[in-house]
Amino acid sequence: MEITPQLIEQITQEVLKVLGQADGGCTDCNAPKLLVVGPADPLPASLKGKYRLCGVSDYAKDGNIAPYDAVVITALTNAQLCDIALGRDSQPAACAVIKALLQEKKVYRLPHILPYREVAPTKSNSELYQTLEGYRTKLKAYGVRTRSPEQLEEALTQKSPCAAPKAPQELPTASGKRSLISAREAQDLVQGAKDGTVTLPKGSLVTPLARDVFRSAKVTVLEQ
């Protein structure tokens, strides 16, 4: 087979499709970012005009989920479904969704995107079918919400009820108690930061995901 530029381009496009490449949308660098797992084509034009749409390849550059306002899944393979349900983050798409859920970011999926549902359940495939249905149920339990393209914009702009920031959890150590700063606490601290500075209790333990949140927000972290 002759390797032509056209063949290379075709292969490249197929690889990007599998990876969930969806870079596009709003060209304003200050616009909020959405991580799109799958092609961006199904998303409404109004959404593309308000958000910078980034594919999984953008996330894979540094593995940092913090810069994205939310994750929208427009396509999902059976393997990716299983990986997310089992908390298996060996592939970029599954890793991004798992991190987003752990950081309590909004994660949405379009309906009718699960490949196994293209086949009707039968007596002979019922055990496998029910296993995959169980994984789908797990995603719902984890917080992945199903929305139509028309419902997405409203869902993304809807603000969660305001809650008082939680005090950092304290862990007992040999030298006394130390505060644990998780990604959730880090997000609360960033929102309440004054003059771009966050002050932590002395001796705080900061999780790697919390460090990602601080780094993405470009705040100065000080210790009391």
Q: Is 190 helix (H, G, I), strand (E, B) or coil?
A: helix
Structure-block tokens of residue 141: 């339990």
Whole-angstrom distance, CA of residue 74 vs CA of residue 36 = 7
The mean per-residue pLDDT over the stretch 76-104 comes to 93
Residue 20 predicted with pLDDT over 50: no
Higher pLDDT among residues 51 and 172, named by residue: 51
Residue 189 has pLDDT above 60, yes or no: yes
* Pairing relationship of beta strands 169-173 and 176-181 according to DSSP bridges: antiparallel
3-state secondary structure of 70: strand
State the pTM of this model: 0.64
- Supply the pLDDT for residue 115: 92
Query: For the chain, how long is the longest CA-to-CA vector?
Result: 69
> Mean pLDDT over residues 98-109, rounded?
93
Q: What is the pLDDT of residues 133-175, one digit of tens each?
A: 999 999 999 999 999 998 998 898 775 544 445 555 555 544 4
- pLDDT class for 36, splitting at 50, 70, 90? very high
Tell whether the model's pLDDT for residue 99 goes beyond 50.
Answer: yes
Q: Is the pLDDT of residue 177 over 80?
A: no
Backbone angles phi, psi at 16, to 5 degrees: -65, -35
Q: Residue 1: count other Cβ atoms within 10 Å of its Cβ.
A: 4
What average pLDDT score do residues 4-10 get? 66
What radius of gyration, in Å, describes the C-alpha atoms of the chain? 20
Average pLDDT over residues 104-128: 92
Q: CA torsion 24→21→61→98, rounded to 10°?
A: 110
Per-residue model confidence (pLDDT) at position 107: 96
Segment among 47-56, 128-137, 177-186 with least mean pLDDT: 177-186
Residue type, 108: Y
CA separation for the pair 74, 97 (Å, rounded): 12
> Which residue in the block uniquely carries the two structure tokens 């089992």?
86
When mean pLDDT is compared across 7-11, 143-147, 204-208, the lowest value belongs to 7-11
Examine the pLDDT at 201 and tell me if it is beyond 90. Answer: no
pLDDT at 136: 95
Distance from C-alpha of 106 to C-alpha of 155, rounded to nearest angstrom: 9
Q: Residue 218: which of 185, 195, 200 has the closest Cα? A: 195
Residues 62 and 92 sit within 8 Å (Cβ to Cβ): no
Cα 206 from Cα 67, distance rounded (Å): 18
Cβ-contact 105, 143 below 8 angstroms: no
Could you tell me whether strands 52-54 and 24-25 are parallel, antiparallel, or unpaired per DSSP bridges?
antiparallel
Q: Name which of 12-26, 68-82, 153-167 the model is least confident about.
A: 12-26
pLDDT above 80 for 213: yes
Q: For the chain, which domains are there?
A: 5-157 (3.40.50), 169-223 (no CATH)
Distance CA 7, CA 113 (A): 28
Per-residue pLDDT, 81:
95
